[in-house]
Amino acid sequence: MIKSTLLPIMIKAFQISDDVFSIVESIKEDIFLGILKPRERLVELSLSEKFNVNRSKLRKALMELERFGLVIIEPNKGAMVRDFTLNEIEQIIQMRKLLEEQAARSMSLPVTAEFLSDLMELQKQHEAAVTKEDMRNAFKLNKKFHDALHNLCENPYVVDLVKYFTTLLDAINSRMLFFGLIKNSPITHLKIISALENEDRDELVYLLSVVKMKSADIYYHEMRKWWANEEEQPSF
């Protein structure tokens, strides 16, 4: 069962300092890129030295990451990167698909020429990063591209939920970077831009809720095969 799924959205975020926020974002990114692996221990002393902060600030960062469902903090054991069960992965993918569809149906169309120009510029930068195999920048630019899209949605509650489930799915998808599936993103981006230009909402819904989610479906089916050979699934 997913722990406190709606907590980050329904309760006001903790007040954290800029340096704690920076730590949170850095660890998030390392999880999303697969640098920090599922079930990997997050050693406070090492991380405090890495970020040059005291352990009190580091603990605040870890608590914030736990609040977003990315880290598990166990009494007397410390923190570790969260792993996801097969059922959790399936449920998160289902929610993301539903929310992406609703977001696309709620987007304000037509969009301005300026918006399309800005989106195309993000796409070009993203494609350049993918070509250079700069996965860190490719990830950041892909996020900016889709954040801009979601900001077209006129329902702020849907936007918040999309962002939350995107965070969870990004943590799950980290393992897919090794399959090179992120390299397909530029093609999808161009199709999305074309759908916006043509004010084709049905195509936009299809691209965001079906095509965009294919990589997650591939990962889910691969994990089903893997877990079929395991005695039990990890559960945290």
DSSP string, 149-187: HHTTBS-HHHHHHHHHHHHHHHHHHGGGGGGTGGGGHHH
Tokens of 150: 């979601």
Q: Are 165 and 70 in contact (CB under 8 A)?
A: no
CA atoms of 152 and 103, how far apart (whole Å):
8
- Whether residues 102 and 73 share a domain: the answer is no
- Whether residues 123 and 51 share a domain: the answer is no
Domain that holds residue 25: 7-81
In this prediction, residues 2-11 reach a mean pLDDT of 44
Helix (H/G/I), strand (E/B), else coil: 15: coil
In-domain check, residue 59: yes
Q: Are 139 and 29 in contact (CB under 8 A)?
A: yes
- Whether residues 213 and 184 share a domain: the answer is yes
Residue 31: per-residue pLDDT:
93
- Whether residues 32 and 96 share a domain: the answer is no
Of the pLDDT bands very low, low, confident and very high (cuts 50, 70, 90), residue 186 is confident
- Encode pLDDT of 114-167 as tens digits: 999 999 999 999 999 989 988 889 889 999 999 999 999 999 999 999 999 999
* Higher pLDDT among residues 221 and 32, named by residue: 32
- Whether residues 207 and 155 share a domain: the answer is yes
Average predicted confidence (pLDDT) for the chain: 85
Residue 73 β-bridge partners:
79
Of the pLDDT bands very low, low, confident and very high (cuts 50, 70, 90), residue 11 is very low
Say whether pTM exceeds 0.85: no
- Encode pLDDT of 30-64 as tens digits: 999 889 999 999 999 999 999 999 999 999 999 99
Using only the alpha carbons of the chain, give its radius of gyration.
18
Residue 3: per-residue pLDDT:
42
- Whether residues 62 and 126 share a domain: the answer is no
CA atoms of 167 and 143, how far apart (whole Å):
10
Cα angle value 32/29/10 (rounded, 5°): 85
Q: Is the model's pLDDT at 74 over the cut of 50? A: yes
Residue 85: per-residue pLDDT:
87
Task: Please give the helix or strand (H or E) that residue 202 lies within, else none.
Answer: helix 201-206
DSSP string, 102-142: HHHHTB-SSPPHHHHHHHHHHHHHHHHHHHTT-HHHHHHHH
CA atoms of 62 and 105, how far apart (whole Å):
36
Q: Are 150 and 162 in contact (CB under 8 A)?
A: yes
Number of domains comprising the chain: 2
CA atoms of 4 and 142, how far apart (whole Å):
27
CATH number at residue 132: 1.20.120.530
In this prediction, residues 73-96 reach a mean pLDDT of 91
| Residue 92 Cα distances to 134, 143, 194, 198, angstroms | 27, 18, 28, 31
